[in-house]
Structure 1
Amino acid sequence: MRPQSLAIRLLPPFAGWFAIGATLLPAASPLRAAPVAVFLLAGPGAAVLRICAPAIRRHQAVGPAESWDSGFARDSERLEQLVLMVFLSVSATLIGATVLMAAHAFSGQRVLVLLTLLTMLAACCPRLRSRTRTARASSPPQKGSPL
């Protein structure tokens, strides 16, 4: 594993530990709210998306019929990954907070610790392999079938 790859892989968990450390600052400080908000909106989703990225890339975006926009697929994929990362992070935050509420152990600090631990676990997981599509011979429709 390359050092650059390892640094990118461990960036979300380090952001979580940084957000936990930021909770030691005064309550109304923007220096406290910013790292926590960034981690809650991006950290868990980035770790999960790294695992699923090869499987997601298998299904490429279909560009417009005209070829006037050559970067459509690249830009579309980046926007899709950004939105998916935010939605996965918010979902993980809501599920983690709900679990802690159900266990009567809810606090902001515990939600951050739980999400940081889950992000560390996701950072340690290997990526999913993308299955290559195999070309199948098309057979003519059977007589009496709807196709």
Structure 2
Amino acid sequence: MQFNRTQLRIGLALSGWLALGATVLPGGSPLRWIPVLVFVTLGPGLALLHPQPAGLRPGARLEALALAAPVSLSLATLTATSLFLVEGFSTTAFLVSLAAFVTVAAALPGVPLPAATRGAAGRAQPRGDG
């Protein structure tokens, strides 16, 4: 099943709000912590890197996925630290901040990736040795 860019962007935008909604479930339930963990680990990074205007080549998809986790965790750390510094940290404030960021980022074009622009996954063109 192939998703188009609009469906991907809507899915990314909704993922944070879904993770926030999962927090109303009982504390130890995997239905609570799995969506939150997946969203915090991949959501912000994918929202920044994946929705490219012209789509992604296969190598660039791998690059976007490989960069999504470190970018997401960096943004989550900055968000949590900022909330702690203003003495406003709570799970709800943390997830609302990230979900709002992802919603806005999903509506914008993705950050350009080197593999997307140079065609890293494409076959090397034979060069004439002459």
TM-score (normalised: structure 1): 0.66
Say which of 80, 95, 103 aligns to 2:86: 103
Q: Distance in 1 between matches of 2:66 and 2:111?
A: 20
1:77 and 1:126 map into 2 onto residues whose CA distance is 15
Q: Which runs of 5+ in 1 are unaligned?
A: 58-72, 134-147
Letter in 2 for 1:126: P
Which is further off, 120-129 or 28-37? 120-129
3-state SS of 2:24 partner: coil
SS in 2 for 1:27: coil
Residue identity matched to 2:17 = W
**Identity value in percent:** 39
**Is residue 28 of structure 1 aligned with residue 57 of structure 2?**
no
Alignment of 1:115 with 2:98, yes or no, is yes
1:81-114: per-residue Cα shift (whole Å, max 9, x none)?
2220001110110010011001100011111100
Quick one: which amino acid aligns to residue 124 of structure 1? A
Aligned partner of 1:14: which letter?
Answer: L
TM-score, normalization: structure 2?
Answer: 0.74
Instruction: Tell me how large the CA RMSD over aligned residues is.
Output: 2.7
- In structure 1, distance between residues paired with 2:20 and 2:111: 29
How many residues are aligned here?
111
- Runs of 4+ aligned structure 1 residues displaced above 4 Å come to 127-130
Larger radius of gyration: 1
